[in-house]
Structures are given as C-alpha cells and as structure tokens.
C-alpha cells in the first residue's frame, strides 16, 4: 500500500481522487469505483501498489499490437482494479477485485529485475486496467526507460489530462479499447467516451504508437456503435491500426458469441475507411495479415500468434511501391 498521487482532501476527512474522470469522492475507510484507491484517515492510498496478479511472456500480437515490432515477445504484468465495470468483462476476476493485503508483493525494482533476467526489450502493463495501478506503473516505467526497455499500456484510455501527461513521458505504445458510442459508454460501462478519444488523439499526435481495439459485443448497441467508432478513428487518422475482436460470454453477460458472418461484415466495412484492419479471437483467413494500404501487397502474414515478415516489407516500408507503413518496425 502506498499513498496515492493525484487526489485532494475535501470536507470531513473525505478525499477526491483526481486520477480518472470519475472524480470519486471517497469517505474514510471506503474505496473508489475502481476498488483499489482507499481513504484511510483522510489520505488516499493505492491498495494495488506492488500487487502483481499475473506475469507472462506473450507474443506482442496478443496485446494486440500488430504494427509494433511484429513477431517480438513482451513481458506482461497485471494487477487489480478497473475504472469501468463492463458486464462482459473478459478479466473480471482481477479487474473487479481489490488487491488483498496478503497478496505477494513485487516492487517496481523487482519487476525490472525480472525483465532484465528475461532479457526482454519491452514490458506491457495489461490484464487489468493499468492506469488504476498508476503509482506502480509510473515508477516501473521510469526504471524501464533507464534500462532501455520499452513500456506499453493495454488500456481503456479513461484518463485525466494531468496524470496522463506525467505518465505519457515514459510510454512508448498503447492499445486502447474504444468500446462504442456515447450511449454505449453511458449505459453499459458507466463512463464517458470523450476522455478515451482525447487519449487516442494525444498519443497519435505526440508520437506514442497507438492501436485501437473494438470488442464486437452481441446485441449491445452494436451496429450504431461500430459505425460511430469507425468515424471517430478516421477523424484522428486512418493510419491507426484497428482490431475487431470477437466477444465470448463472460462475467454478467451471456449472449451468444459474435457471429462469424458479422465479424467478416465489420472487417470489410472497416477496410473501406481505415488503412489497417484486423480480426481477433477467431480463426482467420487473411484477416490478420497486414496489407500495404497503397498497393495491396501482403507485408506481414499471421496465423494465430505466428508472425512472418514477407520479403515485400523491410524497415517499415513496402518494397513493391515504397509506402511507409504506420508503426514501429525493426530496421527503422
């Protein structure tokens, strides 16, 4: 447990958390929406500091990041808590849980020691919402930068500007869930979409690599949300890689999985609007490949998490037509 950053004291020993747009006002001995920022005697504490729920070496495509050193591996850390409560959450056992006092503790220095031992070039903060793990992520990311290790967030992007500006100095790439239109955020996840769009735009305009994921949830404002999401990404940049993931029943939502036909329909619709579109959580037939947006040549082939760079692609460039693909690639 560590005293939190970004809060202020208000009346009667209450505190207001300033980390995310919920701006929770928290009474003594209570926690905020995320369950992991608690008021103890008029001070706000991070309950999940140093509490690592999961560690794994993953293919970077699993994040998913398809335009960020494709084919590489990434050391992934996760903790507890989230700033949303999606009915269909894929990781509810940790995202809707408070860190337990007796859970094993790993300091930021411990995390970096593991990364050095594993000889990884990059760390992902993922599985739960890493922004709720703010103090731990910030300290770890600073240490990683000193060691030349890249930092990646897999996140919902529900940030307030000031804490995000501080953290962003040490972040190299993000995958951001853009879950739906304003009605979807209001009705389903109890938040606002505007801060998420601002996070995506900030990353793109400040040279932080960004990719966006849309989970196609059966029966939840799906058609309107998808078209709205496409338009909003396009307003920022059609270069941003866009992942359409198939929903499966989880947590408190038990509709059937997204029909394969609907996934394919969305894929071809998105291909008309954006440069690079991918399907996830399904067996694909080319829908996970990277094609040159200019001439259509296959640049990167993927089958599940196996990735192969073709001879038509090197150092971020299509060798057929010279098109420079958005992303970060070996040899650049």
| Tens-digit pLDDT profile for residues 93-119 | 888 888 877 788 999 999 999 999 999
Pairing type for strands 209-216 and 173-177 reads: parallel
What is the pLDDT, as a whole number, of residue 175? 99
Mean pLDDT in residue range 177-197:
93
What is the pLDDT, as a whole number, of residue 220? 75
The domain 54-288 is placed in CATH, from the list 3.20.20.70, 3.50.50.60, 3.40.605.10, 3.40.109.10, at 3.20.20.70
Would you kindly state where each structural domain of the chain is located, as residue ranges?
A: 2-46, 54-288, 289-332
Dihedral sign computed on CA atoms, order 143, 146, 152, 158: positive
Residue 144 pLDDT level (bands cut at 50, 70, 90) = very high
Spatial separation of the C-alpha atoms in residues 198 and 123, rounded to whole Å: 24
Residue 223 pLDDT level (bands cut at 50, 70, 90) = confident
Calculate the dihedral angle through the C-alpha atoms of 285, 253, 256, 229, rounding to the nearest 10 degrees. Answer: -50
Mean pLDDT in residue range 243-253:
90
Report residue 235 as tokens. 């307003």
The burial of 48, by beta-carbon neighbours within 10 Å (0-12 exposed, 13-18 middle, 19 or more buried), is given as: buried
Question: Which run of H or of E encompasses 58?
Answer: strand 54-59
Q: At residue 187, does pLDDT exceed 80? A: yes
Task: Put residue 294 in one of left, alpha, beta given phi > 0 → left and psi -120 to 50 → alpha.
Answer: alpha
- For residues 218 and 229, the model is more confident at 229
Report residue 19 as tokens. 């980390």
Residue 18 pLDDT level (bands cut at 50, 70, 90) = very high
Report residue 81 as tokens. 């808590």
Report residue 58 as tokens. 């993953």
| Report field, pTM of the whole predicted structure over 0.75 | yes
Phi, psi values for residue 216, rounded to 5°: -80, 90
Report residue 36 as tokens. 């992991």
- For residues 14 and 252, the model is more confident at 14
Report residue 250 as tokens. 């989880």
Contact call for residues 155 and 127 (beta carbons, < 8 A):
no
> Of the given ranges (231-235, 316-320, 321-325, 328-332), which has the lowest mean pLDDT?
328-332
What is the pLDDT, as a whole number, of residue 253? 85
What is the pLDDT, as a whole number, of residue 176? 99
In the block, residue with structure tokens 């300091």: 107
Percent of the chain with pLDDT over 90: 84
> Of the given ranges (28-42, 89-103, 133-147, 249-263), which has the lowest mean pLDDT?
89-103
Mean pLDDT in residue range 240-248:
96
């Amino acid at each position: 447990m560590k005293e939190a950053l970004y809060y202020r004291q208000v009346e009667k020993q209450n505190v207001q958390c300033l980390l995310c747009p919920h701006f929770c006002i928290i009474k003594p001995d209570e926690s905020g929406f995320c369950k992991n920022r608690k008021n103890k005697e008029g001070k706000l504490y991070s309950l999940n500091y140093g509490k690592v729920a999961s560690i794994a070496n993953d293919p970077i495509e699993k994040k998913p990041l398809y335009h960020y050193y494709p084919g590489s591996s990434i050391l992934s850390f996760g903790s507890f808590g989230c700033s949303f409560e999606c009915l269909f959450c894929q990781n509810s056992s940790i995202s809707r849980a408070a860190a337990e006092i007796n859970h094993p503790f790993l300091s930021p220095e411990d995390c970096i020691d593991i990364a050095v031992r594993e000889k990884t070039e990059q760390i992902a903060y993922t599985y739960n919402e890493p922004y709720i793990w703010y103090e731990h992520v910030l300290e770890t990311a600073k240490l990683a930068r000193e060691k030349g290790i890249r930092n990646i967030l897999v996140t919902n992007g529900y940030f307030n500007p000031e804490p995000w500006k501080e953290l962003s100095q040490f972040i190299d790439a993000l995958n951001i869930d853009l879950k739906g239109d304003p009605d979807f955020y209001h009705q389903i996840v109890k938040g606002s979409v505007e801060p998420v769009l601002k996070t995506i735009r900030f990353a793109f305009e400040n040279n932080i690599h960004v990719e966006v994921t849309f989970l196609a949830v059966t029966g939840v404002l799906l058609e309107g949300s998808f078209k709205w999401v496409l338009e909003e990404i396009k307003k920022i940049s059609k270069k941003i890689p866009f992942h359409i993931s198939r929903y499966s029943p989880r947590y408190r939502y038990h509709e059937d999985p997204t029909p394969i036909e609907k996934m394919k329909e969305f894929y071809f619709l998105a291909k008309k609007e954006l440069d690079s579109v991918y399907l996830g959580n399904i067996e694909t037939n080319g829908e996970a490949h990277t094609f040159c947006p200019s001439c259509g040549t296959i640049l990167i082939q993927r089958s599940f998490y196996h990735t192969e760079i073709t001879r038509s692609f090197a150092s971020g460039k299509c060798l057929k037509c010279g098109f420079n693909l958005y992303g970060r690639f070996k040899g650049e």
